[in-house]
Amino acid sequence: MPADIDPSFLAMPARGLAAAALERAQALGAEHADFRLERVRTARLALRDGGLDSSSDGEDVGLAVRVVHDGTWGFASGITRTPEAAAALAEQAVATAKVSRVLSNEPVELAAEPVYADAVWVSSYETNPFDVPEAERVARLGELSERLLASDGVDHVDAHLMQVLENKFYADTAGTMTTQQRVRLHTEFTAVNVDRGAGSFSSMRTLAPPVGRGWEYMTGTGWDWDAEIAELPGLLMEHVKAPSVEPGSYDLVIHPSNLWLTIHESIGHATELDRALGYEAAYAGTSFATLDKLNELQYGSGVMNITGDRVVEHGLATIGYDDEGVAGQQFDIVRDGVLVGYQLNRQMAHANDFGRSNGCAFADSSGHIPLQRMANVSLQPGPEGPSLDELIGGVERGILIKGDRSWSIDMQRFNFQFTGQQFHRIQNGKLVGQLRDVAYQATTTDFWGSMEAVGGPQTYVLGGAFNCGKGQPGQVAAVSHGCPAALFRGVNVLNAKKEGGR
């Protein structure tokens, strides 16, 4: 296997454990069984005003066995890495399936997938952040923090770094066997201005997204940290002095640093087929985009093209193979504004005549059963689309919105309200200063229907989050959402401060 896979993970007895578990499951009559050995290492650093506030580095290692027995799912997990323990987990999974059989209305059947024998996949990165000494990581965060603190108007600075190394071995009774390694990194700086006379404060944080990259991200590959840190204090002070927005209808130019979250909540979760079928309701409910609307629902305007994928380079949800042995792929969700697809696992793909899963099964650790989880769901740019300046130039009265902050959405993923970090007033095609207290409100289809133009590839940014929640017991997954800047006409804007009764 490639040296890129951490040797300490390769040294674990994955194949022997898998053989013991799968052979025992088959001997007990399982129609299907799969095995996972997972190791997830997570480290966090937090600095306050340039000094180290906290540091942690932890590791979760375990194995899991999932079976289909008599048409019913069974699952078990543990931490003991011996063949006897793996076989015992298979026995426990089969026993669970037998107990659950009376609750199953329809037998579980899985969509077909090619067999991938001894496949290896490693995410795209240059330097594993765990190979970088903690002192060096702290020094880089401290250096950038000190630059912010040296600026007028910045009273405090918070800096956070989270890094993850995920290793996963998968094998199933069909013959698929995969070994994978993923690295991801999330860093943010928040500058704080304190108005002691008024007893209030304002803050603004960096727009750099979390990424499927290594330590090179912090030293100039994929993001210009030096430039953003230099710009942030001036933007914060302009925000402090900005007037509060007058509510009403505005044209909005929404930057990818804000639009990714709207995509996540109003499209990403809404097109998870388990939500659309009513099987999943945790974390903001089911979905208005029900299966009967496939190929019928006008989700947005004709310039709206949404893809799901598990293959984009540096994506947080990018994998070689999912937790059901399905190869990563790209697929259409919305084409020319019309709903044409969903995110699927193998069971839902078979039960709803989709033919093949699009690789969206994932568990956040060995302790959890795989759920249908979100792919990298992205709005595609116009191949020859306008620049950000050209989008702004087409607006007489509007707002440019950058950065994500709070959000709210109903239990059908239909009525929503989003805020942001930076709100730049647009007048006659020019930026004329910032506003405060802006929130935009719409229904999902009205909002995406108001999208008049999408920017070109030069405006495209891959945003995302480490903390997408789903399921009961809850699971957390990292996911990216790419998008260009986009122009929306006539969107309702609220004054968030007045709406809050202040």
Q: What are the tens digits of pLDDT across the range 469-489?
A: 999 999 999 999 999 999 999
Tokens representing 2 are: 């490639």
End residue of a domain, out of 199, 215, 241: 241
| Residues of the chain predicted below pLDDT 50 | 1-3
Domain count, the chain: 2
Residues 290 and 368 in one domain: yes
Tokens representing 186 are: 């999330």
End residue of a domain, out of 184, 209, 241: 241
What's the count of helices (H) and strands (E) in the chain, helices before strands? Answer: 11, 24
pLDDT at 436: 97
142: number of Cβ within 10 Å: 18
Residues 209 and 252 in one domain: no
pLDDT at 43: 98
Residues 91 and 183 in one domain: yes
Residues 331 and 473 in one domain: yes
For 227-272, the three-class secondary structure string (H helix, E strand, C coil) is HHHHHHHHHHHHHHHCCECCCEEEEEEECHHHHHHHHHHHHHCCCE
Give the C-alpha separation, 380 to 450, whole Å: 16
For residue 2, being part of any structural domain is answered with no
Residues 185 and 38 in one domain: yes
Query: Whose CA is closest to 201, among 155, 253, 260, 169?
Result: 155
Rg of the Cα atoms in the chain: 24
Q: How many residues belong to the chain? A: 502
Residues 198 and 282 in one domain: no
Instruction: Say if CB 450 and CB 488 are below 8 A apart.
Output: yes
Dihedral angle over CA of 278, 280, 282, 283, nearest 10: -80
For residue 1, being part of any structural domain is answered with no
- pTM value > 0.95: yes
Residues 302 and 215 in one domain: no
pLDDT at 502: 64
**Domain span including residue 319:** 248-499
Tokens representing 464 are: 């995302």
Give the contacts of 102 (CB within 8 A, at least 6 positions apart).
none
pLDDT at 2: 41
Instruction: Say if CB 374 and CB 360 are below 8 A apart.
Output: yes
Residues 216 and 264 in one domain: no
For residue 339, being part of any structural domain is answered with yes
Residues 272 and 412 in one domain: yes
DSSP codes joined into one string, 3-36: TTS-HHHHTS-HHHHHHHHHHHHHHTT-SEEEEE
End residue of a domain, out of 241, 256, 288: 241
For residue 403, being part of any structural domain is answered with yes
